[in-house]
Amino acid sequence: MAMPGAFLAPLLLLLFSLGPYPAAARSSSGVECVLFNEEYMTCTWGNRETLTANYSLYYWYENKSPVVECKHYLQDQGINVGCHFNQSEITQFQPFRVLVNASLDGKTLEIPSERMELQDLVKPEAPVNLTIHNMSNNQLQLTWTSLYPKAQCLEHAVKYKSNKDTSWMEHRVNGDVFSFPSVDYEKFYTFYVRSKINSYCGSTQLWSEWSVPVVWGSNTNGKGAAGEQLHWFWIHTVLISVASCLLLLVLVILLVRMERVWVILMPRIPNPSKNFDELFITHNGNFQEWAGVPKDVMESFKPNYSENICHVSELPPKDSYEHLWESSNPSPLLLPGTPASPHKHSPYKNSCMGV
């Protein structure tokens, strides 16, 4: 019986929309399954742009039954494009099969897949903690740590280049140590590491992602690309942010405590009135009493002597004085032979008394 044309288009889209995938990870139906670090697995079959029907996935192991539908679908804008499997749903070294149903216009088309071996679909986690050790004779030793639970099942690839190289050098390594035979101290080196399951534990070409790079050496033109990026990161992100916060904090403190700042910068002249409260309040301004001067000392400064007080009064003019004198006191008779002494008159009258 001829296959309806309505189901042919979704089937063709499902088969060819995903493009090229590793042969070990892709079945003939276009379903790609990847087991990530033996922790979880995803099976995908397209995206919203290429799929328009409603899809359902069923899976089973050949030596186990029954058939089970996917419990955790991966969706893209409401369309099922994949399935997520928890660790408890994964069994390695057992033939694994999936079946995808495409529903369109009330009809269902079953899209079967070839069997898959999950141990061949393992993609390890990228290595971490890359560390470079300086050895003698200009040698370096690169070590790392693998997050995959079975480290003995891994092989690794190390790629590196210096700032003066135009292409990357890559080496396969068994174990978690790589020795770099000779280095130039004038160069700047960058290293990456990735991992995959070796031939003793599986048959796969699924490599992990490249690790975070580690750098070593010096650059004659500067600190190298990574070092320069880190340098500018600290300047723009950390230093400027911290400086801005400190400046803002200083401004806030100055605004809140401006009066105290002015007192510190320009101290006020102290008011001495508080030191003389006792002089004016208790002793009524008596400095000697406030200063504690003894009374006998004060008595010694008093004067102990007396002097005559002379009262001076002004007399009338000479002519009037003589006239008054002559009228009130007739001149005495001069005896013969007695010389007449001239009489001098003073305009002032003195009278003194003893004090």
DSSP states of 260-273 as a string?
Answer: HHHHHHSPPPPPGG
pLDDT by residue (tens digit) across 272-299?
666 666 666 676 767 667 666 677 766 7
148 DSSP assignment: S
Helix ranges, the chain (H): 5-16, 224-233, 240-256, 258-265, 277, 287-291, 295-300, 318-328
Instruction: Give per-residue pLDDT as tens, 250-274.
Output: 888 877 767 666 666 666 676 666 6
* Residue boundaries of the structural domains of the chain: 5-120, 125-222
Q: Would you state the pLDDT for residue 191?
A: 94
- Topology of domain 5-120, per CATH? Immunoglobulin-like (2.60.40)
Residue partners of 27: CB distance under 8 A and separation at least 6? 33, 98, 113, 114, 116
- Max mean pLDDT range (30-34, 261-265, 329-333): 30-34
Average model confidence (pLDDT) across the chain: 74
How confident is residue 208, by pLDDT bands cut at 50, 70 and 90? very high
Q: Name the DSSP class of 130.
A: E
Query: Which DSSP state fits 166?
Result: S
**Contact call for residues 140 and 183 (beta carbons, < 8 A):** yes
- In this predicted structure, what is the pLDDT of residue 145? 93
pLDDT at position 205, please? 86
> What CA–CA distance (Å, rounded) separates 267 from 269?
7
What percentage of the chain carries pLDDT values higher than 90?
23
- Please state the CATH superfamily assignment of the domain spanning residues 125-222 in this structure: Immunoglobulins (2.60.40.10)
- What's the average model confidence in pLDDT over 44-66? 78
| CA nearest to 44, candidates 83, 89, 2, 90 | 83
Q: Among residues of the chain, what percentage have pLDDT more than 70?
A: 60
Helix spans in 135-192 (H):
none
The answer, yes or no, to whether residue 230 has pLDDT greater than 70, is: no
Residue 177 one-letter amino acid? V
Selected residue with higher pLDDT from 155 and 313: 155
What's the mean pLDDT in 197-201? 89
Per-residue pLDDT tens for 110-136?
Answer: 777 778 889 899 999 999 999 998 887
Q: pLDDT band for position 137 (50/70/90)? A: confident
- Dist CA 143 CA 146 (whole Å): 10
Q: Specify the pTM.
A: 0.52
The terminus-to-terminus CA distance of the chain in angstroms comes to 166
What is d(CA 59, CA 67) in angstroms, rounded to the nearest whole number? 6
Q: Is the pLDDT of residue 195 over 50?
A: yes
Q: Is the pLDDT of residue 334 over 60?
A: no
